């Protein structure tokens, strides 16, 4: 199975910009690149913050921009989105019986669980007892099959204070739900961080990546506001194999010279010495 992961598209109404960037233009370039290289992917997941302010015009622009995408689409919402507005524009997306944007889909590698960590009125992640009960049931139902989790907010601190202040609030409760099932949870995908990050939590590998419009600069000295940047956007190509999960990240706007390593675009002495 092949899956595309992208995150935090932060759409604004068509024709508007955000911090000087145009998320629509960037996403359209991203969709073109995905269709050209990965039109055969089995799924494309966007892990939330689909829009920046949640207006209908922003969701409309996102819907238009995603229409040409070839792989099937799965959307999560993030703290910048408005749940009801999202469902008006993407009514085919999965919703649980309590109205949260949560769902279950089975694929060859295992069961994919898509979680809703949004509480309107706070940028922090929220996973209430109703949602915790939903997740606990889903993890129980699956038996011994492998599970892959998708959510907007990371359920743990990452060591960057301004971002940790808006991570999931119910960290201990969430970990308590996941912990008994950790052996079958093969990977956790999330967004919200706007920068590449991977590691391991409770024995579960995780990854996220840069966003579409703007990024968070890696600044450990800044304890106050989140530092922004215009590092390049990326999408991830995730390959599920029997004995491994591979996550490639692709800076699809990179404009540097591409060349064969059997040759060199710069005929300098050092290269010739290294490869006589
Ligand atoms: Fe975001």
Model confidence pLDDT, tens digit, residues 217-235: 999 998 999 999 999 999 9
Distance CA 53, CA 10 (A): 8
Write down the pTM of the prediction. Answer: 0.95
Q: How far is the CA of 55 from the centre of ligand 1 (A)?
A: 15
Q: How confident is the model at residue 271 (pLDDT cuts 50, 70, 90)?
A: low
Q: How far is the CA of 7 from the centre of ligand 1 (A)?
A: 8
Q: What is the DSSP string of 17-36?
A: -BTTB-HHHHHHHHHHHHHH
Strand extents, DSSP E, 48-142: 73-76, 103-107, 110-114
Q: How far apart, in Å, are the Cα atoms of 204 and each of 147, 198, 233, 276?
A: 11, 11, 26, 45
Q: How far is the CA of 9 from the centre of ligand 1 (A)?
A: 7
Q: How confident is the model at residue 237 (pLDDT cuts 50, 70, 90)?
A: very high
Model confidence pLDDT, tens digit, residues 186-203: 999 999 999 999 999 999
Identify the pLDDT of residue 275: 56
Q: How far is the CA of 8 from the centre of ligand 1 (A)?
A: 5
């Amino acid at each position: 199975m092949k899956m595309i992961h992208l995150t935090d598209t932060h759409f604004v109404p068509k024709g508007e910009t955000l911090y000087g960037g145009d998320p629509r233009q960037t996403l359209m370039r991203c969709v073109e690149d995905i269709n050209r290289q990965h039109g055969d992917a089995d799924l494309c997941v966007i892990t939330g913050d689909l829009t920046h302010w949640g207006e209908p015009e922003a969701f409309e622009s996102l819907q238009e921009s995603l229409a040409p995408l070839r792989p099937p689409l799965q959307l999560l919402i993030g703290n910048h989105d408005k749940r009801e507005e999202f469902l008006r524009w993407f009514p085919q997306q999965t919703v649980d019986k309590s109205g949260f944007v949560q769902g279950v889909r089975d694929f060859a590698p295992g069961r994919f669980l898509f979680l809703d960590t949004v509480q309107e009125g706070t940028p922090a992640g929220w996973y209430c007892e109703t949602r915790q009960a939903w997740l606990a049931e889903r993890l129980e139902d699956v038996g011994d099959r492998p599970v892959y989790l998708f959510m907007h907010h990371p359920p743990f601190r990452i060591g960057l204070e301004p971002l940790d202040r808006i991570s999931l609030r119910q960290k201990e409760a969430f970990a308590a739900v996941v912990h008994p099932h950790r052996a079958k949870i093969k990977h956790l995908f999330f967004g919200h961080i706007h920068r590449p990050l991977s590691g391991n939590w409770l024995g579960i590998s995780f990854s996220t990546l840069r966003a579409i419009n703007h990024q968070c600069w890696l600044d450990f000295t800044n304890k106050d506001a989140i530092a922004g940047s215009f590092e390049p956007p990326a999408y991830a190509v995730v390959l599920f194999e029997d004995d491994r999960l591979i996550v490639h990240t692709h800076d699809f706007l990179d404009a540097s010279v591409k060349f064969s390593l059997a040759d060199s675009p710069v005929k300098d002495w050092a290269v010739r010495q290294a490869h006589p």
